[in-house]
Amino acid sequence: INTNLGKAESLEAIQSKAQGEFFAVTVEGKFERGSQNFILGFNKTQKIVGFFLAPKPVVSQYLAPSYADTTLYSEKSTYVTATGHQLAAIITTPKNVKNFPVVVLVHGSGPSDMDATVGPNKPFKDLAAGLAAQGIASVRYVKRTLVYPYEFAKAYTVKEEVLDDALAAITLAKTIPGVNLKSVYLFGHSLGGMLAPRIASSVPDLSGIILAAAPARKFTDMMLEQNKYLFDKANDTTKAAKTQLDLATAEIAKAKITQLGTIKPDSTILGISAAYWVDINNYDQVAAMKKITKPRVFIIQGGNDYQVSKQDYDLWKAGLAGNTNVEYKFYPELNHLLSQQVEKGTGAQYMSFSSVSASLINDIV
C-alpha cells in the first residue's frame, strides 16, 4: 500500500455494521497519493478476527461552502478521551485571533463520523468552517457508536452513547491554546440538542447552549410521527404497506417503557437496549432546560425538517416562556441537516449535496 499510495496521512472509522455475533468496521485511509478503505472484523470479545481491503465507494462529492475560507483558520487532529475510549477529533481554530470562543458539536442519533456525514453532506464540517471563518473555534469528534459498536450490543444508556464523550470534548475544548474560558459553548443537533440540558447540568460554567432541530417530545412520539409521515409521503395504499406501518407502530409502543420490571436491561426493543428506553423515556428535556437560567440558550428549527417539526419548536417556546435567557429562530426553508430546501421531502433528500445555511451560522455568531 505504501509503495502504491505513499505515506499514510489519516485513518478514520466511517461505518460500522453488525453481522451476527461479529462487527465489521470500515476504516477510510488517506495516503499521500490516494485513498484506500479497510474492513476490520471484530468478535464479541472485541478481538480483531479479520482484515480486508475494500474499494472506496463512489458517492456524490462533498463541496466546501463559500464561507469556508481556509486562509482564516487551521485544523488539528487529536482525540477525545473518555472512560478508556479514544475518539478521533478535529479542533478548528481561527487564525490571528486571540481569546476566541469555542463550540463543542454534539451529534444526533446513530453512528456518525466527526463531520456528521450523511451522503455527500457534512454539516459539522460546514459548521466548523463557518464558525472559524468568523473567529470561533470548534471541537468535533467521532461518535462512540461508530468506532465501538460491539459495546452497544449490551445494556447501555445515553450516558455511554452521548453524555460521557460530550463532557470529555468540553474538557478538551478548555485546553485549546488561545481559547476564552468564559466563552465555551455547546451545540447539540437533534438527539444532541435533546440531551444538551443534561450535558449542561454537569458543566455550570458553559457560556451558552445551541439546540438545533432538537426534539421537545418523547423519542417514541417522534418515531411514530416520522413513520406516519413517510407512509403518507410514499402514497402506497397496499395492504402490505399498511401492515408494515402497523407493525412498526406496535414495536414503537413496546419501547415506551418507563421501568424495567421483569425485562432484562440488555434485552432489545427496536434494536436498542431496554435500559436505554427506560432512561430516555424518564427524561424531560424541556423541564431540564427550564432549570438552566444562567447560560444563553438559542433554539433553532427548520420548517422543512420531517424528523423534528415545528411542534417541537413550539413546545420549547411554551415550556421555557419564563426563561429570559432563551432566544429562538425558525427557518421555514431548512431541513434536518440545516440546509436550505424547497420542500420537506424524505431521507432521499440527504443524498443530494447541500451546505449548512450561511444565515444560520451568522445567527449563531
pLDDT at position 328: 98
Q: What is the pLDDT of residue 11?
A: 80
Give the pLDDT confidence score for residue 235 in this predicted structure. 83
Predicted structure pTM score: 0.84
| Grid cell at residue 168 | 470529555
pLDDT of 51 reads 73
Q: Does domain 70-218+274-364 have CATH number 3.40.50.1820?
A: yes
pLDDT of residue 338: 98
Average pLDDT for runs of 10 along the chain of length 365: 70 69 76 76 72 63 93 97 93 97 97 93 98 98 92 92 98 98 98 98 96 97 92 84 89 94 93 95 98 95 96 98 97 97 90 94 96
Catalytic residues: 190, 305, 336
**pLDDT computed for residue 26 by the predictor:** 81
Over pLDDT 90: what percentage of the chain? 71
Structural domain boundaries in the chain: 2-54, 70-218+274-364
pLDDT at 244: 87
Report residue 318 as a C-alpha cell: 411554551
DSSP structure string for 113-163: -TT--BTTB-HHHHHHHHHHTTT-EEEEE--HHHH-GGGGGSS--HIIIII
pLDDT number for residue 117:
93
